[in-house]
Amino acid sequence: MDFLDQILIYPLQQLPFFLITIVIAFTVHEFAHAYFANKFGDPTARLLGRMTLNPAVHFDLFGIILLLIAGFGWARPVPVNRDNFSRPRLMGVIVSAAGPLSNFLLGILGALIYAVLFATGVMDSITNDQLLKAIYFFFNMFIPFNFFLFLFNLIPLPPLDGYRIVEDIAPRPIRGRLQQYEQYTVFLFLLIIFIPGLRGYTIEPLFIWAANMGSDFLRMFTSLFGYSGV
C-alpha cells in the first residue's frame, strides 16, 4: 500500500473518487464529439460504436495508468471525418468544441448539485463522517477537474481540441502552415507537459483557474439559494 501511495498522484483513500471523476469526465467528453459529428452527417464514430456513454469504449488503458501516476493521460480520441459535413469548417469547430464544453457543463452541474446539498440541509444532516468525507472528496475533485479539462483542451496545440478549432477557423494559407508544422507543435506540447519548468508556467496555472471557477460557481449557486455557509 505504501508503494502505491508513493507512485499514485492521489492517496489510495481518494483514488476511487478520482476514478469515478475521470470515468464520467472522459466518457461524456468523447461522447459529445461523437454525438455532434453524427448529428452533422459524419457516422464514423457511431459506426465504430463510439457514440455511447459506455466508458469501456472510450478508455485507453495506458492513458489512464499514466494519468494516475504522472497526472497526464488521455482517452481514445473519437475519429471524425470532416468531409462528411455539409459545412466542414463551421461544423468542425462545433464538434471540436463539444468535448471541452461538455466538461464545462459537467463542472457547472457538479457545483449546482453540491450547492443544493448544502442549501437543502442535506450536508448538515449527515452524521456519518465517512459518508460526509466521501461526498466532500468527490465534489472537490469532480468540479475542478472538469473545469480543468475544459481549459486544458482549449490550448491551441495538437492533439488538443483547441488546435482543431484554430485549424478550422484559420484562413486556408494559415491552415496550410499549421498542418506543415503540426509535428513540431506536437513536440512543443510534450515539452510543456513533461518539463517541470515549462509546465509550471503553462499547465499548472490552469489548475488554479479551474479551482477558482469551481469556487465561483459554487458560491453563486449557494447565494442564489440563500445559503452562505460554504
Residues noted as catalytic? 30
Paired strand residues for 75: 59
Separation in Å, CA 18 to CA 94, 134, 205: 28, 11, 20
> Do 197 and 166 contact (CB within 8 A), yes or no?
no
Give me 175's grid cell.
491552415
How many whole angstroms separate alpha carbon 69 and alpha carbon 64? 9
Four-point Cα dihedral 219, 224, 225, 229, nearest 10: 30
